[in-house]
């Protein structure tokens, strides 16, 4: 046995080697220190070196930039009445990845949405790799809340805006409408889309794994609402125009109609109505033809509404005066292979009589006194063959062939409204020019917008032609039904055959264009009734003139325009008062005979 001596000198037996605790402890501490250093290094790498990379990955899972919806600008009429407003609505959307984890809830969701289950399953499956899909857009907030109350995983809602048109069909063609994304599609909504639409905002939010917003991180961009727009339209006159057009179509069996009312001095369009029409609050893909604004897009041969323009051209050239006599006998004259005919043989007529009786022969003989180039240029200055510049989308320019393309009969037929085409707005604009003492003012749909103006006819000639047109609505004229008690009315009827198969059919377009009051012109209006039933009457004086009378009578009262024909105004007032007295007279005298008669019948 081996021995060893300890520190005290005591001799002890030598055993196994003593355990080295201190060395092992150092080893363990060193290892832990290295691990800690590695963790610190990794933390530095994550937080400092590759911070952007890992932050991007984390943000991709939970940080989202969501849009802040903004309302579209309001459209009002000239008096501030709302014509188009944006109302807040909700849209229901879903996260397909989350929804597909709970397929057993899809039938319940389909029931809540009111869609077939197979349609919903197909829609979600097609976007299985996406995180967003609209399920139902622009619905009442209460309806969206009811859907969310079912707490179906992956289904959420967001705020949007929907366009609403309080006037409905009456202003549909002027305003147009917006699509599902609130972008203008037609009419004023399209023409002023950039002005009206505004700029959506954006904000960063943190969503949890269920897609719920748990924190608003940052406002990226504030929402900017669209700007409001004030139109020149007067809602009241627009309603009158729409109402009278509808009544006329019902009465005459016509297929369509248009009417335009213009403020003579400013060129502002006070009303623009068309039928058939549509409901802008519920636009569908059906009946697209009804969405056409015929007043600015449809081209028609203007018929006899051209005769005052022809007379103005000849007077401006100095070749006639209002008293110049035109021999219209025997009531017709050659026109190439055809004839230019009057309703009957009017014999010798003054130029005023040519307009009063609407003589085609008289108009043709007048235009033959004019040079081709001069006549073409005059019509162009009056607005025919070129856009009025109203700014309405899709406005037609009309058709005015250059003299180089005229045949031997073109000038003659153009003098009474055939061989050229115009829109109802162009016709109204031409009459507004005559009413404005020969100054053409660019039409506009925006209140207060100053358009270009140009003196195209001398004031003396324009005023003289207006006086001639006044005879049309007086006894002996072709449009006595356009007369308005208390006001002098100037106007012209027109009845044009519709082109068909290279010739003309027995279907008609009926016109009336007029100005009121003559002494101090305020309004110009053109009425076009397309294809009235010939059996119910088709002449412009019978079909279109009453529309003018009803609308202008109401407009003059609404705008407090003083009468310029005091005698007829006083007579009309006396007649109304007599009717009122008759209605309010005591009925006692009539009651006894009525009872007696009833007894006799018994």
Cα–Cα distance, 411 to 417 (Å, whole number): 10
- Cα–Cα distance for residue pair 253/36, rounded to 1 Å: 94
Q: How far is CA 70 from the centre of its chain?
A: 21
Tell me if residue 503 falls in helix, strand or coil: strand
Query: Could you tell me if 342 and 332 are in contact, meaning their C-beta atoms sit under 8 angstroms apart?
Result: yes
Q: For residue 367, which of 329, 333, 330 has the smallest C-alpha distance? A: 333
Residue among 441, 474, 439 at smallest CA distance from 457? 439
Residue 212 burial by Cβ neighbours in a 10 Å radius (0-12, 13-18, 19+): exposed
The dihedrals phi and psi of 306, each to the nearest 5 degrees, come to -80, -20
Q: List the catalytic residue out of 91, 304, 410, 421.
A: 304
- 352 prior amide bond cis, ω within 30: no
| Contact call for residues 101 and 148 (beta carbons, < 8 A) | no
**Could you give the CA distance from residue 169 to residue 404 in angstroms, rounded to a whole number?**
44
Q: What's the distance, CA 454 to chain centroid?
A: 28
Most distant CA pair in the chain, distance: 166
The pairing of strands 490-500 and 503-516 is antiparallel
Q: Which residues of 303-339 are buried (b: 16+ CB within 10 A; e: fewer)?
A: bbbbbbbbbbbbbbeeebebebebebeebbbebeeee
Q: How far is CA 219 from CA 101, 103, 203, 286, in A?
A: 32, 36, 4, 43
CA separation, residue 580 to residues 573, 574, 575 (Å):
10, 10, 9
Residue 490 DSSP SS3: strand
Give SS3 for 350: strand
Q: How far from chain centre, in Å, is Cα 179? A: 13
Does the annotation count 341 as an active-site position?
Answer: no
Nearest to 417 by CA among 436, 398, 435: 398
> Is residue 223 within 8 Å of 199, Cβ to Cβ?
yes
Residue 88 φ/ψ region, left for φ over 0, alpha for ψ in the -120 to 50 degree band, beta for the rest: beta
Report the catalytic residues.
304
């Amino acid at each position: 046995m081996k021995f060893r001596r300890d520190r005290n000198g005591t001799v002890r037996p030598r055993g196994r080697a003593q355990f080295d605790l201190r060395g092992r402890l150092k080893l363990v501490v060193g290892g832990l220190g290295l691990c800690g250093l590695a963790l610190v290094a990794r933390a530095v790498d994550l937080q400092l070196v590759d911070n952007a990379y890992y932050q991007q990955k984390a943000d991709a899972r939970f940080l989202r930039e969501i849009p802040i919806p903004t309302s579209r600008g309001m459209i009002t009429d000239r008096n501030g009445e709302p014509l188009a407003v944006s109302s807040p609505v909700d849209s229901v959307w879903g996260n397909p990845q989350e929804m597909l984890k709970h397929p057993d809830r899809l039938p319940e969701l389909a029931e809540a949405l009111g869609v077939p289950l197979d349609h919903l399953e197909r829609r979600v499956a097609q976007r299985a790799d996406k995180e967003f899909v609209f399920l139902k857009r622009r619905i009442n907030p209460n309806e969206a809340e009811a859907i969310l109350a079912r707490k179906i995983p992956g289904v959420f809602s967001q705020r949007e805006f929907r366009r609403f048109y309080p006037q409905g069909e009456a202003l549909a063609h002027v305003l147009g409408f917006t699509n599902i994304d609130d972008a203008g599609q037609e009419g004023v909504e399209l023409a002023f889309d950039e002005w009206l639409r505004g700029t959506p905002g954006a904000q960063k939010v943190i969503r949890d794994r269920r897609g719920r917003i748990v924190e608003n991180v940052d406002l990226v961009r504030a929402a900017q609402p669209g700007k409001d727009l004030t139109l020149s339209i007067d809602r009241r006159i627009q309603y009158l125009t729409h109402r009278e057009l509808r009544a006329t179509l019902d009465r005459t069996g016509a297929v369509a109609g248009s009417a335009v009312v213009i403020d003579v001095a400013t060129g502002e369009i006070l009303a623009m109505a068309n039928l058939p029409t549509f409901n802008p609050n519920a636009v569908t893909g059906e009946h697209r033809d009804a969405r056409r604004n015929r007043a600015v897009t449809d081209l028609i041969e203007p018929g006899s509404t051209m005769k005052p323009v022809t007379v103005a051209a000849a007077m401006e050239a100095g070749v006639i005066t209002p008293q110049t006599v035109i021999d219209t006998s025997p009531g017709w004259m050659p026109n190439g292979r055809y004839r230019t005919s009057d309703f009957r043989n009017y014999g010798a007529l003054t130029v005023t009589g040519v307009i009063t009786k609407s003589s085609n022969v008289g108009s043709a003989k007048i235009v033959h006194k004019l040079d081709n180039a001069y006549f073409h240029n005059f019509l162009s200055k009056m607005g025919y063959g070129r856009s009025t510049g109203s700014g309405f989308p899709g406005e037609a320019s009309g058709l005015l062939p250059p003299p180089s393309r005229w045949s031997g009969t073109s000038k003659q037929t153009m003098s009474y409204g055939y061989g050229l085409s115009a829109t109802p707005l162009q016709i109204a604009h031409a009459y507004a020019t005559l009413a404005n003492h020969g100054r053409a003012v660019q039409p506009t749909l925006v209140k207060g917008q100053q358009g270009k103006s140009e003196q195209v006819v001398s004031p003396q000639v324009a005023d003289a032609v207006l006086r001639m047109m006044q005879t049309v609505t007086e006894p002996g004229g072709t449009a006595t039904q356009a007369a308005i008690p208390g006001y002098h009315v100037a106007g012209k009827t027109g009845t044009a055959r519709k082109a068909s198969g290279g010739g003309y059919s027995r279907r008609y377009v009926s016109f009336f264009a007029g100005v009121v009051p003559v002494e101090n012109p305020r309004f110009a209006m053109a009425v076009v009734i397309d294809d009235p039933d010939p059996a119910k009457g088709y002449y412009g004086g019978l079909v279109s003139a009453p529309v003018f009378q009803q609308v202008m009578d109401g407009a003059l009262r609404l705008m407090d325009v003083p009468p310029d024909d005091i005698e007829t105004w006083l007579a009309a007032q006396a007649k109304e008062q007599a009717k009122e007295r008759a209605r309010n007279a005591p009925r006692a005298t009539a009651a006894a005979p009525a009872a007696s008669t009833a007894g006799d019948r018994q």
